[in-house]
Each structure stands twice: as structure tokens, then as C-alpha cells.
Amino acid sequence: MLAALLAIPALLLGAPAHADVDPDPAQLIERVQWARIDGQPSLRVYPTAAGRAAAVRIGGPSAVEEAWSQVLAQAADAVTPGMYEQFRCHWEYAELARPGKPSWNLEPWRPVVSEVDMLDAECNPGGPEESP
């Protein structure tokens, strides 16, 4: 309980208590990797510690657009309907809901839905998150 309370200021300030220092704090996305799960394409997005810290930062400008541009720099073919919305959902909520999850997984086959439906689906509209 005490550890959780001590972590709150770090969360609000945008720096996880256990974060490693990134060599380049401007680098928000370490790498991306296409995979196939049950025959369906899935883009694995691996945020850096700086990216995770920026994703949970409260107040100030969001770095989601810069992070997305870093995804596209590594996977230009990720520009498909709904992929940015999935990424934004993961950026805004995944690190709070499941801190330290190794990758944020985006699938081009998922339907385009409203922001409310995206959140209700835990960033995975059209079916549950796949299991690798």
C-alpha cells in the first residue's frame, strides 16, 4: 500500500519510479514489428521508458502525434483506417491500465469505432486482444 502511495507523485509528474533512463529522451518508440497471429496482421509497438512516461503525463501538451510519427517512420504501411485510433487509445490508457506491458498491439483488421466504443473495448474493437 505504501509503495502504491509513493508511486502516485511520480505518475502525476510523468516519470515512473522505476524507469530506466533512455539514451535519447526524444525517442518515444523503441521499435515496431509486424507479426501474424492466427493468420491476421498485428503491429507490435514497443515504447521506450520516455514514451511510457510521456503517455501517462497529466497536463501539458500530449506527445501522441510525435509518437505516432515515430511509429510511421518505422512502419509506413501502418496508415490504415483505425490504426491511429488504436494507437491513441493505447497511448492514453494502456500504460495506466496495464503498466509495463511489453508492446501495444495494433491490428489493421479491427473496425473503426467511436472513441467511447474504443475505450469500452479496451483499445481492441471487434474482438479480444490476441494472444501471441
Instruction: List the domain boundaries for the chain.
Output: 29-121
Q: What is the pLDDT of residue 121?
A: 96
Q: What is the pLDDT of residue 10?
A: 42
8 Å CB contact between 64 and 36:
no
pLDDT(119) > 60: yes
8 Å CB contact between 53 and 15:
yes
Task: State the average pLDDT over residues 39-66.
Answer: 92
pLDDT(13) > 80: no
* Interatomic CA distance for residues 113 and 108, integer angstroms: 13
Q: Tally the residues of the chain.
A: 132
pTM of the complete model: 0.79
pLDDT, greater one: 2 or 50: 50
Side chain identity at 118, as an amino acid letter? M
pLDDT, greater one: 131 or 35: 35
100 burial class (0-12, 13-18, 19+ CB within 10 angstroms)?
exposed
Residues 62-90 pLDDT 10s: 899 999 999 999 999 999 999 999 999 99
Q: Which residues contact 7 (CB under 8 A, 6 or more apart)?
A: 16, 17
Task: State the average pLDDT over residues 29-56.
Answer: 96
Q: What is the pLDDT of residue 4?
A: 37
